[in-house]
Structure 1
């Protein structure tokens, strides 16, 4: 049963700078629009009032589309009911906050007085860096895109920077890792305000395969150990990740790499930072987890992932995986 929405809608203020990443704000904005649409179809009042503001009335986005009609940075956020300020990322390896527009936004952010349930901050991707520059993350836990984690640490040494998380909750501050994780975070917030059933309907409308939570890693296990440029190693990893259920061993992997088993092991350790069989085990555990979340029995998940038995899966799960029992992920018993 969905919660009754508040009589007074949440004011959601997207504060944009020139060249703001379009998907960082468009994705969450669409999720909020769809939530309002579902509420209206059920005869309920809309819950979110969207506003787009900035240091200037018009600006280009990251994809070159020109925005116009932006409202000025508001001065009455604390007097008109609950509000969320949404900060989004900018393109580039580092975030330049020296521009006149960024300085104006920074001054406005410094004037905000955040309070849980009243005035809250949502940072998408490198939007956390803008918040940190304004002193809004001091003493708070926060995350950002993995490319900007060190930059965030340098921006505010008193911010507890959390890596490899889809989003982090430390009210009144909420932050997400980057790009599509902003949608995950806003779905979570929709669920908090309007109930999980409505948030699930929004996710379904967005064709989001699986809503992710604050304890989920930013990087998929299937992408782990891939931060290298060695083509032969990528060839092996591609084959193993596509068919983890097959009978893999180091010798077979070495054939794909046109290398000896000993040399392949050296390549894995040097470039991927993991041994070949340990890499295979992590892929199989990830595959089993996907199967279990989809409702498969432990025995079936073990087969699909390439474990010789459900006993082998349970042992690997307890020793190298999330811990506990894989049965806990299943909605029904075996």
Structure 2
């Protein structure tokens, strides 16, 4: 299949980026840049994004006017995502934006239904709450807007000190740069962890999370750094965890001595080379167990372990359930 053929067979995900009055520009630029890069970095999914608003143009937080915006659609297809940007307080001499906000809230209330995913960035959660779309959901927003969301959505579980929150078909981020964090998380789920990692590296941002955020894929563990040589080594291991990697071979990929790579790997990735290889092999074994009926001998072999006993010993460092129980739990 040629590259053009692969593009033709992409799964299309419609994305509507809703711009309220005085849109916070970074709330739009960061997340949409993630989608743009995702369309470049992989061939399985196409994010078909468009910018919509109640007016054909909007003044942004920095004074830049965004024009040629599409009108609010009468219908949004199933499987679509609506990204609701945050905004800033209008200047004192600005026209009253309350009628426009009321229009947006009414449209959101009618447009968002089961099968549509709503993503709020920063204070966008306030408008979503006003539209009656956050009640019964866990969510977050900018620290300055938490009480407003609670007022508009009294049954919402509004969480502070979060980068972003995922609850069923609602995704919300704290504000400004965290919109990019949230979109990287979504890109990882909708395409692949490797695609999200590649995008993050291109944008020179970390795959951040806090202890209360949705867990990143184990494939992304140890990637919260910007050292290019260590990323090259990790890319090689991630591409073929079952390979019998030696420290000398990995040092060659990183173009440094074995001693130097051991030190830098621990410093930047936060774990040893051996621990990282083992984690990637266990992650591969989890995928094999969940998606095949191979016996433990073959699972261990395909995952790079010398034997089932070796696999179980390493596995126990990362998983509470033994491999056989894990397989049963994924089948339930």
Common fold by TM > 0.5: yes
State which of 120, 143, 147 in structure 2 corresponds to 1:146.
Answer: 143
Deviation of the 1:214 alpha carbon: 7.2
1:32/1:214 Cα in 2 relative to 1: closer, same or farther (>3 Å)? farther
Are 1:198 and 2:201 counterparts?
A: no
Are 1:207 and 2:204 counterparts?
A: yes
Deviation of the 1:213 alpha carbon: 5.7
Instruction: For 2:82 and 2:44, locate their aligned partners in 1 and report how far apart those are by CA, in whole Å.
Output: 21
Residue 102 of structure 1 corresponds to which residue in structure 2?
Answer: 101
If the length of structure 2 is used for normalisation, what is the TM-score? Answer: 0.59
CA contact (8 A) 1:168 1:214 kept: no
Instruction: For 1:177 and 1:292, locate their aligned partners in 2 and report how far apart those are by CA, in whole Å.
Output: 29
State which of 137, 153, 176 in structure 2 corresponds to 1:156.
Answer: 153
Are 1:30 and 2:27 counterparts?
A: no
Instruction: For 1:87 and 1:120, locate their aligned partners in 2 and report how far apart those are by CA, in whole Å.
Output: 11
Report SS of the residue matched to 2:11. Answer: coil
Residue 56 of structure 1 corresponds to which residue in structure 2?
Answer: 55
Are 1:294 and 2:297 counterparts?
A: no
1:99/1:194 Cα in 2 relative to 1: closer, same or farther (>3 Å)? same
Instruction: For 1:214 and 1:106, locate their aligned partners in 2 and report how far apart those are by CA, in whole Å.
Output: 33
Deviation of the 1:35 alpha carbon: 0.6
Are 1:187 and 2:184 counterparts?
A: yes
In structure 2, stretches of 5+ residues that fail to align are 1-5, 215-265, 273-316, 319-332
1:97/1:103 Cα in 2 relative to 1: closer, same or farther (>3 Å)? farther
Report SS of the residue matched to 1:56. Answer: coil
Instruction: For 1:16 and 1:122, locate their aligned partners in 2 and report how far apart those are by CA, in whole Å.
Output: 13
Moved over 3 A (4+): 4-8, 291-294
Instruction: For 2:207 and 2:111, locate their aligned partners in 1 and report how far apart those are by CA, in whole Å.
Output: 34
Are 1:166 and 2:163 counterparts?
A: yes
If the length of structure 1 is used for normalisation, what is the TM-score? Answer: 0.59
How many matched pairs? 213
Report SS of the residue matched to 1:109. Answer: helix
Residue 136 of structure 1 corresponds to which residue in structure 2?
Answer: 133
CA contact (8 A) 1:188 1:213 kept: no
Instruction: For 2:124 and 2:135, locate their aligned partners in 1 and report how far apart those are by CA, in whole Å.
Output: 15
Deviation of the 1:177 alpha carbon: 0.6
Instruction: For 2:112 and 2:161, locate their aligned partners in 1 and report how far apart those are by CA, in whole Å.
Output: 29
Instruction: For 1:192 and 1:132, locate their aligned partners in 2 and report how far apart those are by CA, in whole Å.
Output: 25
Residue 20 of structure 2 corresponds to which residue in structure 1?
Answer: 17
Report SS of the residue matched to 1:51. Answer: strand
Instruction: For 2:96 and 2:118, locate their aligned partners in 1 and report how far apart those are by CA, in whole Å.
Output: 19
Report SS of the residue matched to 1:47. Answer: strand
Note the aligned Cα RMSD (angstroms).
2.7
Instruction: For 1:177 and 1:171, locate their aligned partners in 2 and report how far apart those are by CA, in whole Å.
Output: 17
Report SS of the residue matched to 2:111. Answer: coil
Report SS of the residue matched to 1:168. Answer: strand
Instruction: For 2:210 and 2:188, locate their aligned partners in 1 and report how far apart those are by CA, in whole Å.
Output: 11
CA contact (8 A) 1:15 1:52 kept: yes
Equivalences for 1:187-266 in 2 at 5 Å? 187-212=184-209, 215-216=212-213
Deviation of the 1:176 alpha carbon: 0.5
State which of 7, 12, 16 in structure 1 corresponds to 2:10.
Answer: 7
Deviation of the 1:89 alpha carbon: 1.1
Instruction: For 1:141 and 1:27, locate their aligned partners in 2 and report how far apart those are by CA, in whole Å.
Output: 23
Instruction: For 2:213 and 2:137, locate their aligned partners in 1 and report how far apart those are by CA, in whole Å.
Output: 19
CA contact (8 A) 1:9 1:82 kept: no
In structure 1, stretches of 5+ residues that fail to align are 218-290, 298-326, 329-334
Instruction: For 2:124 and 2:96, locate their aligned partners in 1 and report how far apart those are by CA, in whole Å.
Output: 11
Instruction: For 1:87 and 1:59, locate their aligned partners in 2 and report how far apart those are by CA, in whole Å.
Output: 14
Are 1:73 and 2:48 counterparts?
A: no
Residue 80 of structure 2 corresponds to which residue in structure 1?
Answer: 83
Instruction: For 1:212 and 1:170, locate their aligned partners in 2 and report how far apart those are by CA, in whole Å.
Output: 16
